[in-house]
Structure formats: structure tokens, C-alpha cells
Chain A
Amino acid sequence: MPPKSSASDPLWYKRAIIYELPVKSFFDANGDGVGDFAGLIEKLDYVQALGVTCLWVLPFFPSPLRDDGYDIADYRNVHPSYGTLDDFRRFLHAAHARHLQVVIELVVNHTSDQHPWFERARSAPPGSPERDYYVWSDTDQKYGDARIIFLDAERSNWMWDSKAQAYYWHRFFHHQPDLNYDSPAVLQDLLQVMDFWLEMGVDGFRLDAVPYLAEREGTSCENLPETHAVIKAIRRHIDGRWPNRMLLAEANQWPADVRAYFGDGDECHMAYHFPLMPRIFMALHLEDRHPIVEVMQQTPAIPEVSQWALFLRNHDELTLEMVTDEERDYMYLAYSADPQARLNLGIRRRLAPLMGNSRRRIELLNSLLFSFPGTPIVYYGDEIGMGDNTYLGDRNGVRTPMQWTGDRNAGFSRADPERLFSPIIMDPIYGYQGVNVEAQERDPSSLLQWMKNLIGLRKMFEAFGLGSLEFLEPANRKVLAYVRRHRRDAILCVANLSRSVQPVSLDLSAFSDFTPVEMLGYTDFPTIGKQPYFLTVGPYGFYWFELQRRDP
């Protein structure tokens, strides 16, 4: 009998609130300057008290760490800096004991060039099964229509390997050769890797870089039918052996293309809604709901069992791939006047600095994150309004140590400060002396307490995770208003995207005779009649109303 994951509800991921964290940045228990699983276990009470229900743990596998662990050298072990497999098991057990699900990262598109499979492939004769684990070519001209993703670091998707006397294919860094899914042995090995972790009890995988699994001449080598066939095979395998486990697709694509990763409910359970995130930022800066409404209207319906994963910020840059050139220009001007903040096609900043440290704006964006159709993902540190350091290179500036206290190393580690894997944020605005968990736990009006309340409220209403979405179209475009419905529940959300108070008239005739009850204060508002419903909303304010039908 295989051990059960912690989830007994087949739709747990639709009700979840996910907390994303890199183990190395969370808490260092052994004092070597790098966070570890033993440290993460110590901080699980904090995570549980925050109210999130699922942890998404960034890659923790043995790796040369040239891409922060996304270059995996061994799929079945833990990087020694983070602990041992037993530490991971203890962590998994401790998380499950707190009713927290655990989703781990699985980079299925490529490995590190130090993975034994690659070492074996480059020495194996061309055409041999060992060689075929990766994609080789005698020229660097094949698949010329495929774009280069890491524009700032790579010039080509091909890299010459002198040992193999051939080029190998890589969609990301040149030290990350792509696996060749035309070879059946690759999929079989990957499935065994998945079984290894699922048997241990992990509740799901985030499938990194999933659109790039297959390559075909004359295509962009993205979203190919052959790629979907691989995902379907993975899903079939998992459903057959491991009930209630979840697959989350990382497909940074337009919604219509991402839609395909849900299949007919037979590919991934979840996928990120990448285009929504920059448009939320854009709408806020434009003080106009149009970008949000437009992208949501372009979002196709998904199967009943599927779910969007929503986020404001994550461990990568705020990607601007899924916007037009003009929109990208606007975003650069609006959110990264400092060129240092730009990376690839995006902005490497955390939520609080992007919001100019405005508490109201941070709250407003979180209110959207938590009320839009999908499962919200909170990036570690954003719940206390942590800052970033754009001088750290690549995306390391948003992966700095968690700020626990105002003590040395922000309470993250007992190591000498110079030994830390990354400097602590210590600028005068976001520095750890002022922005830390301990201080915010003591401050009843802190962002942390506010986030706990919001998360608690969200969990109380299934409509947020499971319900439908209908936009209202008030004349005032600075106001975004929408209704979420699920079974007998209807929730009206109203958000003012502007910095000044706004009036708004809403057509709520479909809810005539309903009483809107403001959710946070449980306050009855005037009953809805036949006329447009008039509200005023304060600067960056938002209301969530339960629409209740009262018995006469």
C-alpha cells in the first residue's frame, strides 16, 4: 500500500493557498549560512499560522547551482547544503502533520550538464540509447525558429560539446542541456523519479519549463503536440498509482496556449496565469481596469477539475514576455525607471518595492490575488513587505534571506554575516531592522497580521477558489467590479485602482432584493433595488460583499 499524501480531497489544489519558498533562503538551522530543511521544519509553525495550506518548495536537488538549482545533477537526492533525504522526509512528515501539502519542483525539460545522464551521453556513440537522452546535432542551424529565452545570457540555443563532437540543444542556459523526449527511456526514467518522490508522500509537482519538451523543425518548438503527449503520459501514470496528487504546469504562454496544458482534464491540474500578473500591475499604474478585464476575457474556459495558479510575484523576474512591445515599454517606465531592475524581458523586483512601499497598494493587489478565479501563490517575504537588492545579479535580489528578527543576519542564521549565501536586505526602507516577522507579529496593524486575516477570510469562502467570474461594467473605469458565484454563494468584489476616492454605479439588477453584507466587518449595506447600486470606494480601496437573500 503506497503511503498517502496529506490530501484526501481530490480538489484540494483548488481550495489551496500556496506559499512559495526557496529552502536556502528560509531558515538556517545548522549555522552554515545557507537555509536548510531542518530550518524549514523549525519555521513550519510560522507558515501554518500564516494560514497558507500548501508549500511549493523550489529546487533542492544536488546541483552545481549555476541556475539556482534549476540545473539538477541528481533527481533523487537533496543538495548537501540543504540537508539529507532524511531531513526532507522529516520535513514532509512535519508539514503533513500541520495539514500543509507539499509541492516540489521537477525540472523536466533539462538537466545540469553535470548530470550523469549527460556525462554518459556525451561519451556514448551517436545513435546509441545513452546518447539519445539529449538532443544532438552536427550543426547549430536546426530549429532556427525557436526563440532564445535568456536573451541577456545566451546567443544561441545550441552549444558545442567538444567531447561529443556535436552541438546539444538547450532552451535555457547553455549548461542546461534539454532532455530528448523522443527517446522513450527518458520518460521512463522521469516517471521513476516521480514515483520516488510520490512514494515518499509529496502532494504534487511543479513541472518547470513544460512547453519546451519536444522540438520539431519549422516550429517555435513550444507547445508542440508531442510535448502534450508526454504530459498526458505523465498524468496517466500518476493517476493510475497516486490518488490526489497534483501537477502544476509552468508554461509562460498566452492563455489560449496555456489552456492546452489542462487538456481535457487529462494533462496538468493547474497552470500559471502568466499574462494576468503584469496586467494587474499595468491596470494599477494606469488607474484603468481595462488591461485586467481584457486579459480575463481572452482567457478560455478550463475543465471543471482544472485551476489557474495566480501570483503577484515569484522567484523570477516580473516577466513581460506575454505583453505587447508597447505595453512592455510602459511597464519599464512605470515600474523600473532604474535600468538596474531590468533583466531579460522583465523586472527583477519584489512586490513592496514595485508598489513604492505603499501599504494600500500592496493590500489592493493582494485583494485581487485572493479574489480572482484561481489558487493564489504568496512568495515568501512578500507577506511582510520585504524588499530586494537589484545589485546581486540574475534574480538573486529577490531570493535574499527571510527576515525573521531585527537581530544579526535578520535572525536567519547564526553564521558570521560574511558567510551567508546572500547579503541580507539592509537598506533604510526595507532593511531587516524594521521589516521582520518578529516586529510584525507584535504590531497588531502590520502587513503580516493583515495578510493572516485576508488568508483566513479567503479560506472561508469556497467561491473564491471554485466559483465563476462575471465582470460588471460600470462607467467609471477606475473601478474594477466582479461577481464570484459558487452554488448558493455570490460574492461581489469592488476595487478602486486609483489613488483617489471614486464613485461607482453598479448594475446589480440580477441581485434585486439581495442584501450586500460587507465581509470584513459583517456589515449590512442597503438592500439592492431596481436602480443602479451606488457606492463610493476610497483610494486603492476594495470591498468584498456577500450577497445574501433574506427570508421575508
Chain B
Amino acid sequence: MASTGSSFSAAIPDADSARTDIVVGLTSHNDAETIVAVTTAVRASLAGRFAGVASRIVLADAGSTDDTAARARAALEGTGGLIEVATPRAAAELLDMPYHGVQGRARALRAILTTARDLGARACVAIDAGAPTMAPQLVESLTGSILHDDFDFVLPFYRRHPYEGALTKGVVYPVFRSLYGVRIRQPAGGEFACSSRLLPRLLDEDFWDQEGVRVGIDLWLTAAAVSDDFKIAEAALGVRAHRVREGDALDLGTTMSQVVGALFADLESRADTWQRVRGSKPVQRFGELAPASAAQGSVVDPERLMESYRLGYRELRDIWTWVLPPKTIVELGRLINAPAARFQIDDELWARIIYDFALGFRMRVLARDHLLRSLVPLYLGWFASYILQVRDLPPDAVDERVGRLGAAFEAEKPYLIARWRWPERLRT
């Protein structure tokens, strides 16, 4: 039956629903190309390692116009069937800008989590059916620590090239670590698994109908999980393969606005939680990390990034003075004429820049989208500085370098809290 928003109904077969240990939820939107491979892999995984475990596969399709659902049904014929929960897009969504991820992803995830809760599942895994290949051990890796070690929330940890996922490394990870005291490297991983204990808590969150949920949902789910006394783990899952969907290719400004906007929106809604957290703890990681050589990266020219930074400084300096204090602006000015050898944005400075943008976002000193887009050249400057520092380092040292950045964000956290609590208005 069709549904919108928070309510939906699923055709849950009664006979087999007496006991369910694992619910594997697939989110899809026009994924006819990949759905069979993913469904087959999930089925193989459940039939193999989880042979004695009662499991269900739930497809939450966000109004595909191709035959995604039909192919999934066919792939699972004779296996006890598929629970389908339809989550068509809301009318308003059709007019929105494109964004990363599956259309209607939040509603799809909500439907999957609700089904898992209603079935009394001990663990629920959410998988993007658009992945071109699925790691054979994915379901097992994500749910093993929940079923056997009492963990509540498991995120994937993918091996990535040092230059890939830089926005996560440079902004999302360090902010998340500093705020919630949990060193999750990829807080918005796309896949995740959660325990029966966490399920009702996630469903109880008030972000499901909030503005920006389509982009922020993965990060917000993780934030909800770490905000309370739940046990968090990472599962090493090799290298993630991406399939670029139609409309996915976004400019950096839009990505910045959406990803960092979701992060900052989370700060706003959980201020009373993160302001009580001091320090950070590592999270337990299960599984074997893929070799560094498996992660491919594109070639990035730091000189071009620096040039973008310099152009941004000339064009956007005035905008930045709304959020960045004079000392920061002066330090940024020094970089304009710096040669590559001395082009370096210190971790502390970068942390304060991100925090000042978070404060500007909260105070609405400028239109939020404009403010976040103006962060792009600063980010490119940071990225150049980062590449110049890590390009000759071995993979473990890069990892350690990113960890140091996270520690710097932690050290600067009082700067954020003090200004959050008693805002300074640089310009009015």
C-alpha cells in the first residue's frame, strides 16, 4: 500500500513472522541494474553463515519507475519471499535539488526500521541496493557484533584512498569525534546495522520529518546512536564501489551545503548532549582492513586547489568576515602568497574555521546555503594543505595524520562551546 512520511503498511506474512533474528533492508530507487546482484548476495549470505537464523529481506523502494521491485521479487522467488514497503516520494521532493543518495532514503530507512521493530528482529541491516557489488561478508560483518557481542550500532569502515572522502576526513569525522567523543571514521557510511535495543530509540527521534532529512539521515542516525549509552563498532568491509546514479553528480558547493549543513543542523539539535562530552574514545573495529593498494584515487593537483583558495579569498573575504574573527582572516591572508612548500593550514586554525562556520550557521548571520557555499574555497585550501602533507606518507601515517586532526578539533572544542553559549556578533 502506498504511504507517505511516517506511516506505511507492509504485507508481512503472518506464518513466518513468529521469530525474526535479522532483517535486511534494501533501499532502492531505479536500481534495476544492480538489484538482482545485491539481492542474490544478501540471500547467499543469509543462507550461508546465517543458515539457522530466522531472517527477512525487506525492500523499501522509493517509487522506482523501472522494474527494480519486480526483479527483486524474481530473485527471491521460492525463498520465503520479500517484504515490500513502498515509500513513494512526496510531491515536494520532486521539486527539490538533486542530492547524494537514494531518493526518499529517509522514508525508506524509517520503513525498514519500523518493520524490523514490528518483527522483533534482534538486528537490522540497511543496505543501498544501488551498490554495483556487495561485499560477500557485508551482512555478517555488520550484524555479527550485534548478535554475538551486544553491540548496538555498527558502521562500515571502507578502505579509501588518502585523497578520497576528504570532506569526511577534514570536516565530518573530526567534528563528530570532538562533539560526541566517538572516533568513528565514516559516520555516514550508507550501510549500517542496529540492535533491537536501539531500534525504538532511532524511530523515536524527531528528525524523521525535519527539513534536510533526505541528506542528513545517515549522519543523524549515527548521532542519535552515539548520543546515548549505546555500544558502537566499525566493521572493516574492504573497498566501497560506487555507482553514480542519474542526477548524482553535484558541484562541490551543493555537496558542501548539504553535507556540512546536515552536520551543523545536528549540532543545533543536540547541543545539550555534545556540550557535556569531554575527550573521545576509539571504537572497536571488527574485520580485516583491505590492503591500501586496493583503494584507487584520482590524481589531484594541489596547485589548482591553492589557486581556487586564492580566488576565493579575493572574492569571498568580505563574506567570511561575518563569521571568522579578524585573527583568522589575517592568518588566511598570509597564505595568499605562500608557495606550496609553506602552504599549510594548521589543524587548530582549521578547527576554529569550521567551528566559526557552525556558529554562523546557528546564528543565521547569512543565508545558510550561501554561508556554507562560501566555505568551499577554504575547504579547497585545507585540502591542498592536507595533500601537501600526506602525499609522501605511507597509508598508516596518513591515517595517523587524520587522527591528529581529530585530536585538534577536540582540543579546540572549548572555543566552540564558549561561543555557542555566549555568541560574539562580529558584524550586525
Residues of A at under 8 Å CB distance from B? 441-444, 449, 453, 456-457, 460-462, 519-523, 548, 550-551
Q: Indicate whether B64 reaches chain A with its CB closer than 8 angstroms.
A: no
Distance between B426 CB and nearest chain A CB, rounded to angstroms? 8
A444-B425, A457-B422, A522-B421 known, 14 other contacts, Cβ within 8 Å: A442-B428, A443-B428, A460-B271, A460-B275, A460-B421, A462-B272, A520-B418, A520-B422, A521-B422, A522-B417, A523-B414, A523-B418, A548-B278, A551-B278
Which residues on the B side are within 8 Å of A520 (C-beta)? 418, 421-422
Which residues on the A side are within 8 Å of B428 (C-beta)? 441-444
Which residues on the B side are within 8 Å of A442 (C-beta)? 428
A551 to B181, CA, bound (A): 14
Which residues on the B side are within 8 Å of A519 (C-beta)? 421
Within 8 A of A (CB), among B80-110: none
The answer to whether B425 and A522 have CB atoms under 8 Å apart is: no
Interface size for B (C-beta < 8 A) is: 15
The answer to whether A453 and B423 have CB atoms under 8 Å apart is: yes
Distance between B260 CB and nearest chain A CB, rounded to angstroms? 22
Q: Max chain B CB contacts within 10 Å: which of A456, A457, A461, A520?
A: A456
Q: Indicate whether B348 reaches chain A with its CB closer than 8 angstroms.
A: no
Which residues on the A side are within 8 Å of B425 (C-beta)? 444, 449
Distance between A550 CB and nearest chain B CB, rounded to angstroms? 7
- The residue of chain B having its C-beta at the shortest distance from the C-beta of A524 within the complex is B414
A493 to B184, CA, bound (A): 37
A521 to B417, CA, bound (A): 8
In the complex, the number of residue pairs spanning A and B with C-beta atoms less than 8 Å apart equals 37
A45 to B307, CA, bound (A): 41
* In the complex, the 8 A-B pairs of residues with the closest C-beta atoms, listed nearest first: A444-B425, A522-B418, A522-B417, A520-B422, A442-B428, A522-B414, A521-B418, A453-B422
The answer to whether B272 and A460 have CB atoms under 8 Å apart is: yes
A105 to B398, CA, bound (A): 64
- A-B contacts, 13 of them at CB < 8 A, read A441-B428, A444-B428, A449-B425, A453-B422, A456-B423, A460-B421, A462-B272, A520-B421, A521-B418, A522-B414, A522-B418, A522-B421, A550-B278
- The residue of chain A having its C-beta at the shortest distance from the C-beta of B421 within the complex is A457
A551 to B422, CA, bound (A): 26
A444 to B423, CA, bound (A): 10
A441 to B271, CA, bound (A): 24
Within 8 A of A (CB), among B256-271: 271
A520 to B421, CA, bound (A): 6
Chain B 387-424 near chain A by CB (<8 Å), digits 1 or 0: 00000000000000000000000000010011001111
A29 to B164, CA, bound (A): 55
- The residue of chain A having its C-beta at the shortest distance from the C-beta of B417 within the complex is A522
Distance between B396 CB and nearest chain A CB, rounded to angstroms? 29
Distance between A150 CB and nearest chain B CB, rounded to angstroms? 44
A550 to B424, CA, bound (A): 28
Distance between A202 CB and nearest chain B CB, rounded to angstroms? 23
Distance between B410 CB and nearest chain A CB, rounded to angstroms? 14
A449 to B175, CA, bound (A): 27
A522 to B425, CA, bound (A): 17
A519 to B414, CA, bound (A): 11
Distance between B92 CB and nearest chain A CB, rounded to angstroms? 16
Distance between B211 CB and nearest chain A CB, rounded to angstroms? 12
- The residue of chain A having its C-beta at the shortest distance from the C-beta of B423 within the complex is A453
A92 to B373, CA, bound (A): 35
Distance between B361 CB and nearest chain A CB, rounded to angstroms? 15
A460 to B272, CA, bound (A): 6
The answer to whether B418 and A444 have CB atoms under 8 Å apart is: no
A522 to B355, CA, bound (A): 15
- The residue of chain B having its C-beta at the shortest distance from the C-beta of A445 within the complex is B425
Distance between B423 CB and nearest chain A CB, rounded to angstroms? 6
Which residues on the A side are within 8 Å of B278 (C-beta)? 548, 550-551
The answer to whether B424 and A456 have CB atoms under 8 Å apart is: no
A457 to B420, CA, bound (A): 9
Which residues on the A side are within 8 Å of B272 (C-beta)? 460-462
Distance between A443 CB and nearest chain B CB, rounded to angstroms? 7
Which residues on the B side are within 8 Å of A462 (C-beta)? 272
A453 to B422, CA, bound (A): 6
Given contacts A442-B428, A443-B428, contact A456 B421 (CB under 8 A): yes
- The residue of chain B having its C-beta at the shortest distance from the C-beta of A520 within the complex is B422
A52 to B271, CA, bound (A): 17
Which residues on the B side are within 8 Å of A550 (C-beta)? 278
- The residue of chain A having its C-beta at the shortest distance from the C-beta of B419 within the complex is A522
- The residue of chain A having its C-beta at the shortest distance from the C-beta of B416 within the complex is A522
Which residues on the A side are within 8 Å of B418 (C-beta)? 520-523
A449 to B417, CA, bound (A): 18
Which residues on the B side are within 8 Å of A551 (C-beta)? 278-279
Distance between A366 CB and nearest chain B CB, rounded to angstroms? 14
A523 to B415, CA, bound (A): 10
A142 to B424, CA, bound (A): 62
Distance between A487 CB and nearest chain B CB, rounded to angstroms? 11
A442 to B425, CA, bound (A): 10
Distance between A447 CB and nearest chain B CB, rounded to angstroms? 13
Which residues on the A side are within 8 Å of B279 (C-beta)? 551
Which residues on the B side are within 8 Å of A522 (C-beta)? 414, 417-418, 421
- The residue of chain B having its C-beta at the shortest distance from the C-beta of A441 within the complex is B428
A441 to B364, CA, bound (A): 13
The answer to whether A444 and B421 have CB atoms under 8 Å apart is: no
The answer to whether A444 and B271 have CB atoms under 8 Å apart is: no
- The residue of chain A having its C-beta at the shortest distance from the C-beta of B425 within the complex is A444
Distance between A464 CB and nearest chain B CB, rounded to angstroms? 12
- The residue of chain B having its C-beta at the shortest distance from the C-beta of A8 within the complex is B206
Which residues on the A side are within 8 Å of B275 (C-beta)? 460
Q: Max chain B CB contacts within 10 Å: which of A443, A460, A462?
A: A460
- The residue of chain A having its C-beta at the shortest distance from the C-beta of B275 within the complex is A460
Within 8 A of A (CB), among B278-306: 278-279
A519 to B272, CA, bound (A): 13
Which residues on the B side are within 8 Å of A453 (C-beta)? 421-423
The answer to whether A444 and B417 have CB atoms under 8 Å apart is: no
